[in-house]
Chain A
Amino acid sequence: DAGVTQSPTHLIKTRGQQVTLRCSPKSGHDTVSWYQQALGQGPQFIFQYYEEEERQRGNFPDRFSGHQFPNYSSELNVNALLLGDSALYLCASSRRGYKFSYNEQFFGPGTRLTVL
């Protein structure tokens, strides 16, 4: 079992550019959540995808968008990058399908985005 994988590991962009981050969930998982972790802070929830639809969204602007594919993998897109978007972006997968007994999410290693 490969666990949750994310690509790329590191990324450097300039202000105003657009970026796409990718996530493959753990085998058997159908739900993907994205978090932004600024330096020295805890992760902040961006949004969650299930059945190829955005199910819940945190307090992030529309510049942040996502997609989930039929194989459950997901992309996070950020447009018009700002310096403040520099952070570690974490993907977490979990299994839905039926009522959760608990909200265990398995995290990937993250993508470090630097905006210059």
Chain B
Amino acid sequence: AQTVTQSQPEMSVQEAETVTLSCTYDTSESDYYLFWYKQPPSRQMILVIRQEAYKQQNATENRFSVNFQKAAKSFSLKISDSQLGDAAMYFCAYGNSGYALNFGKGTSLLVTP
């Protein structure tokens, strides 16, 4: 079974600074997808960024980028120029087909003025 581990229960960053959230996973598959989801207090889970395992290039979406290390099974999220609206729970997730997503336990991100 695939497992996803987020070792940072909480992280804090000042506005306009950069923060990196860590995620590791375990799988025996070669083709899969990795995701970062954001869940604000409103509870709505929002996709932040995705990475296809067969792509070597790291995904980027505006201020959000990932560092995907396939051999190390590591998938970290970097948030640049942090904004107050970035404060939320962030979940790393793994999927290898059209079926279930496996989520980590999440990292709570606090953004301070």
Residues of A near B100 (CB, < 8 A) are: 33, 45, 48, 56, 58
Contact B101 A45 (CB under 8 A): yes
For residue A54, give the distance in angstroms from its CB to the closest CB of chain B. 11
Residue-wise interface mask of A (16-33) relative to B, using a CB-CB cutoff of 8 A (1 in contact, 0 not)? 000000000000000101
Tell me whether A109 and B44 are in contact in the complex, defined as CB-CB below 8 angstroms, given that A58-B100, A96-B98 are known contacts: yes
Tell me whether A41 and B106 are in contact in the complex, defined as CB-CB below 8 angstroms, given that A103-B33, A103-B101, A105-B101 are known contacts: yes
The stretch that binds A, out of B11-19, B45-53, B67-75, B77-85, is B45-53
Residue-wise interface mask of B (37-75) relative to A, using a CB-CB cutoff of 8 A (1 in contact, 0 not)? 100001111110010100000000000000000000000
Interface residues in A80-111 by Cβ distance below 8 A to B read 88, 90, 92, 94, 96, 100, 102-110
Residues of B near A44 (CB, < 8 A) are: 103
Residues of B near A102 (CB, < 8 A) are: 33, 50, 52, 95
Interface residues contributed by chain B, number (CB under 8 Å):
26
Cα of A31 to Cα of B47 in the assembled complex, Å:
17
User: Which A positions have Cβ atoms within 8 angstroms of B?
Assistant: 31, 33, 35, 40-45, 48, 55-56, 58, 88, 90, 92, 94, 96, 100, 102-110
A-B contact pairs, 29 of them (CB 8 A): A33-B99, A33-B101, A35-B103, A41-B105, A41-B106, A42-B4, A42-B106, A43-B45, A43-B101, A45-B100, A55-B99, A56-B99, A56-B100, A58-B100, A94-B98, A100-B98, A102-B52, A102-B95, A103-B33, A103-B95, A103-B98, A104-B35, A105-B101, A107-B44, A107-B46, A108-B44, A109-B42, A109-B44, A110-B44
